[in-house]
Structure 1
Amino acid sequence: MPRALHHLDLWVDDVATAEGEWGWLLARCGWQRDERMLSWVHPDGTYVFVEHSPDQHGTHDRLRPGINHLALTVGSREELDRMRSESTDHGWHELYADRYPHAGGEAHVALYVESSEGVEVEVVVGE
């Protein structure tokens, strides 16, 4: 079966900050850095590319029309707990901390974090 998502371009204001934040998060979720460009590749071939474009304007607001958040997976609850304990050191702010790990419902195990530019990522323990 072909992958469902080919790639995602993230436009950021500060490439160096985004590289640190996203690089850490994606590596924890099993993505590998592609040294040819500022991107990370999932084992299924999907990739995420980070860039600053002179065409962008305004700031990201996930509450406006567009993408609200990105959801990624990790293999275990232990890995999710490690990500939670390390996320602040890598520029991420935890959302819904008082309801961790069930902010999405009792049967849903996930960590919700927000980047320094306000991009929300939900990290879900995969099947």
Structure 2
Amino acid sequence: MSKGLLHHIELYVSDLKRSIDFWGWFLEEMGYSPFQEWDRGKSFKMADTYIVFVQTEERFLDVSYHRCRVGLNHLAFHAESRQHVDDMTRKLKDKGITILYANQHPFAGGDDHYAVFFEDPDRMKVELVAP
């Protein structure tokens, strides 16, 4: 039964190529596969849920995203294990992606919350949480 599950998420991005370079490898590591692609967008799908990235129109690029404004704060994904979080943290660092709250990592979300927090190219926070 799919009632209540997310069908899809659509994110407008400032630089589609840069966002796909960032999100593509991560989503494929999470089990998503490329799904749809067109001039100004691309999506990745896992089971019945997909995530869409769309190039923001140039006339809207003067307003930058900030997760503390009204709107989406972050996306959080399930990891397989603590080891999976550790492996992905290493891959993120190898790609030069800044780990948020590094001085508290991997317990930045609290003593019982083993996760890695990082940002996409538009500074949207992403979280990978161990069970």
TM-score by length of 1: 0.88
1:52 aligned partner: 55
Separation in 2 of the partners of 1:26 and 1:91? 17
2:122 aligned partner: 117
1:24 aligned partner: 25
2:69 aligned partner: 64
8 Å CA contact 1:28, 1:74 repeated in 2: no
Cα deviation, residue 48, structure 1: 0.2
Cα deviation, residue 56, structure 1: 3.6
RMSD: 1.6
TM-score by length of 2: 0.86
1:10 maps to 2:19: no
1:95 maps to 2:100: yes
1:85 maps to 2:90: yes
Q: Secondary structure at the match of 1:97?
A: coil
8 Å CA contact 1:93, 1:115 repeated in 2: no
CA 1:92–1:109 in structure 2 vs 1: closer, same or farther (change >3 Å)? Answer: same
How many residue pairs end up in the alignment? 124
Larger radius of gyration: 2
Name the amino acid aligned to 1:79.
H
Farther off after superposition, 108-117 or 88-97: 88-97
Superimposed CA distance per residue, residues 19-67 of structure 1 (whole angstroms, 9 cap, x where no aligned partner): 0101112122221222x32111123x11001111326441111010111
8 Å CA contact 1:91, 1:115 repeated in 2: no
Cα deviation, residue 91, structure 1: 5.6
